Amino acid sequence: MTRVDYADLARTIAAFTEGETDDVALMATVACEVHHSDERFNWTGFYRVVAPELLKIGPYQGGHGCLQITFSRGVCGAAARTGEVQLVPDVDAFPGHIACASSTRSELVLPVLNGAGEVIAVFDLDSDLPDAFTPEDADALTEILKAVFGRL
């Protein structure tokens, strides 16, 4: 199984996004690069904050995602509401999990902050494998997101 090389991934994303300020273009690039970096990632994408307490689907890779999610529901909603990383080894054990894809077994959702520290989106990674994500994944992806979106 191919495992991501986060140092290489960070360099690649930095090169592709240098000078870009459009958040949708940045999200599309990050989703694509992260999705194809590791076989564990079967759905990789962004849910954008579009109104108070509301996320809508943004750029992603994989099958269809939910079109909208309120901050009060699911793993993505929890990440947006709390501003904290949600590392979920078993989605069936997460209260209020939204099953956008019935094959999803584990999930990692990271808040995406702009330069002012405001949550502008969440970055959602799903896996068909149970317990697929690690704290190291969360830390490395948090740093990549900070480097890309922290300048907006």
Q: What is the pLDDT of residues 100-132, one digit of tens each?
A: 777 899 999 999 999 999 999 999 999 999 999
Q: Look at the chain and report how many structural domains it folds into.
A: 1
Q: Chain-centre distance of CA 137, in angstroms?
A: 11
**Domain membership of residue 28 as a residue range:** 6-149
Q: Coil, strand or helix: which one is 111? A: strand
β 54-61/68-70 pair status: antiparallel
Q: What is the pLDDT of residues 73-110, one digit of tens each?
A: 999 999 999 999 999 999 988 877 777 777 899 999 99
Look at residue 106 in the predicted model and tell me its pLDDT: 96
User: How many angstroms separate the CA atoms of 86 and 124, rounded?
Assistant: 9
Asked if residue 1 is part of any domain, the answer here is no
Asked if residue 70 is part of any domain, the answer here is yes
For the whole model, what pTM was predicted?
Answer: 0.95
- Over residues 36-60, the mean pLDDT reads 97
User: How many angstroms separate the CA atoms of 146 and 140, rounded?
Assistant: 10
User: How many angstroms separate the CA atoms of 106 and 114, rounded?
Assistant: 26
Give the CATH number, domain containing residue 141: 3.30.450.40
Q: How confident is the model at residue 1 (pLDDT cuts 50, 70, 90)?
A: low
